[in-house]
Chains A and B, each alone.
Chain A
Amino acid sequence: GAVVSQHPSRVICKSGTSVKIECRSLDFQATTMFWYRQFPKQSLMLMATSNEGSKATYEQGVEKDKFLINHASLTLSTLTVTSAHPEDSSFYICSATPGGSADTQYFGPGTRLTVL
């Protein structure tokens, strides 16, 4: 089956630092990947659509200068949380689509970010 990985699985950082999260499609190529954020006891909220070789498309209310997305290859997208603050603490999840008739999205295991 299609496998999506994320690294790291959890990270703790100090306020003001930047954190990079990687999302990889392990057994397929993905021209499009998606980044979600999930706060405790809430549903997943789409942050942005990551397109290989072009700029990401951000959802309304998501600061593109704070959440930098780079999709440099067909198997890797990165999300960098710049100048992180405690309110950025959340569960970040990526997804990717291997293609096919319905283009099922497969999700990574998530990255737990805690900003102190």
Chain B
Amino acid sequence: DAKTTQPPSMDCAEGRAANLPCNHSTISGNEYVYWYRQIHSQGPQYIIHGLKNNETNEMASLIITEDRKSSTLILPHATLRDTAVYYCIVRPPGGYQKVTFGTGTKLQVIP
């Protein structure tokens, strides 16, 4: 799996957009970018994934640069419940493929 680099922590004011960056400069052509988050003492929650195009769902938007070497997860209106550790992961397709977690970004949403 390609390695990812994320800032260890970020703060965001409640109601503002949270932009979480991720570098994956060694990503391969068939590897997807996934984002998960883990709220304290819970299992990771799937947020969004993409290959080349930008993606949006009810939780977040994913912006992938044209060269695919970096991406940004955007939470449009952060709430206190969005406080969590956010993990950016790159992985080839296939249900048998392992997911390797880095250290992630601890996002603190501030009232």
A residues apposed to B, CB below 8 Å? 4, 6, 30-32, 34, 36, 43-46, 49, 51, 91, 93, 95, 97-99, 101-110, 112
* B42 with A110: CB separation less than 8 A: yes
> Given A107-B44, A109-B43, A110-B43, does the pair A34, B98 have CB atoms closer than 8 Å?
yes
Tell me the bound Cα distance from A4 to B44 in angstroms.
11
CB B45 to nearest CB in A, in angstroms, measures: 7
> Given A30-B95, A31-B95, A104-B46, does the pair A43, B102 have CB atoms closer than 8 Å?
yes
A-B contact pairs, 15 of them (CB 8 A): A30-B95, A31-B95, A32-B95, A34-B99, A43-B103, A44-B101, A45-B101, A91-B41, A95-B99, A102-B32, A102-B49, A102-B93, A103-B95, A104-B49, A105-B95
Interfacial chain B residues near A103, Cβ < 8 Å: 93-95, 97
Interfacial chain A residues near B51, Cβ < 8 Å: 102
Tell me the bound Cα distance from A44 to B37 in angstroms.
12
Most buried by B among A30, A32, A103, A110: A103
Contact-size category for B: 20 to 34
Tell me the bound Cα distance from A96 to B35 in angstroms.
16
Interface of B, helix, strand, loop or mixed by DSSP? loop
Tell me the bound Cα distance from A93 to B51 in angstroms.
26
Interfacial chain B residues near A105, Cβ < 8 Å: 46, 95, 99
> Given A93-B44, A107-B43, does the pair A32, B104 have CB atoms closer than 8 Å?
no
* A110 with B41: CB separation less than 8 A: yes
* A99 with B95: CB separation less than 8 A: yes
Tell me the bound Cα distance from A102 to B42 in angstroms.
24
Interfacial chain A residues near B38, Cβ < 8 Å: 44
Interfacial chain A residues near B103, Cβ < 8 Å: 43
Chain B: CB-nearest residue to A111: B43
CB A114 to nearest CB in B, in angstroms, measures: 13
